[in-house]
Amino acid sequence: MAAPLTKTLPIFTTHSLFLFFFLLLLLLSSSTAAKSNQSSFAKTLDKPLSGFGKEKLTHFRIYWHDIVGGRNPTAVPVVTPSSNKTSPTGFGMVSMIDDPLTEGPEMTSKMVGRAQGFYALASLEEVGLLMAMNFAFIEGKYNGSSITIMGRNTVFSKVREMPVIGGSGLFRFARGYVQARTHKFDIKTGDATVEYNVYVLHY
């Protein structure tokens, strides 16, 4: 009667001993790994706990006014290529902008923000701009929030698409794209009104 008990007992203890050391090793290795990744300046956060809700898609249709002529231009050339290097596409020119963004196509319609940044003529072959600008909103709940647009704008194309690469305030973690369509272009003054359809994913 006692024989089977003494036989099974050693097997049971080596098993449990093995399991115990295995678990201890696992615990030690995981805790040292976690410790070695700890740092005084960085910490991985649990996203749902950080106060971010569900990601949503917002669409804006706004009008961008580039005023290069007149007494109060909103676009000012800051880099002009040396005269012996001018190309028919104006390659190399850079303008800083602080262009009004309005709800409707008319300058008199409600201002919702400003497009601040620069555009640079970046194509030798056609009139192609590199746009780098922030849409700084001033209207309603968007007041104080901004989105950052950086992309290629071949101004004589019907539709130009540029990426939204980020944002601030309500637009933290923003990503998306804009589609720009020229609404009005004055050849004499160079002033332009462009319709911007903005599609932006944010929280």
Ligand X SMILES: *[C@@H]1O[C@H](CO)[C@@H](O)[C@H](O)[C@H]1NC(C)=O
Which residues form the interface with ligand X (CB under 6 A)? 33-34, 37, 82, 84, 138-139, 143-144
Q: Report the nearest approach of ligand X to the CB of residue 139 (Å).
A: 6
Q: What does the block give as tokens for 139?
A: 């209207």
Q: Rounded CA gap, 68 and 78, in Å?
A: 12
Min CB(78)–ligand X separation in Å: 17
For residue 143, the minimal CB distance to ligand X (Å) is 4
Nearer to ligand X, 23 or 138 (CB): 138
Q: Residue 84 or residue 108: which is nearer to ligand X going by CB?
A: 84
Q: What is the largest distance, in Å, between two alpha-carbon atoms of the chain?
A: 111
Least distance (Å) from ligand X to the CB of residue 96? 22
119 vs 142 by CB, closer to ligand X: 142
Q: Which is nearer to ligand X, 6 or 38 (CB)?
A: 38
Closest separation in Å from C-beta 102 to ligand X:
14
Nearest residue to 195 (alpha-carbon basis) of 95, 115, 98:
115
Nearer to ligand X, 98 or 139 (CB): 139
Q: How far apart are CA 76 and CA 73, in angstroms?
A: 7
- Residue in the block written with tokens 């696992």: 26
**Cα(103)–Cα(65) distance, integer angstroms:** 11
Rounded Cα–Cα distance for residues 181 and 161 (Å): 9
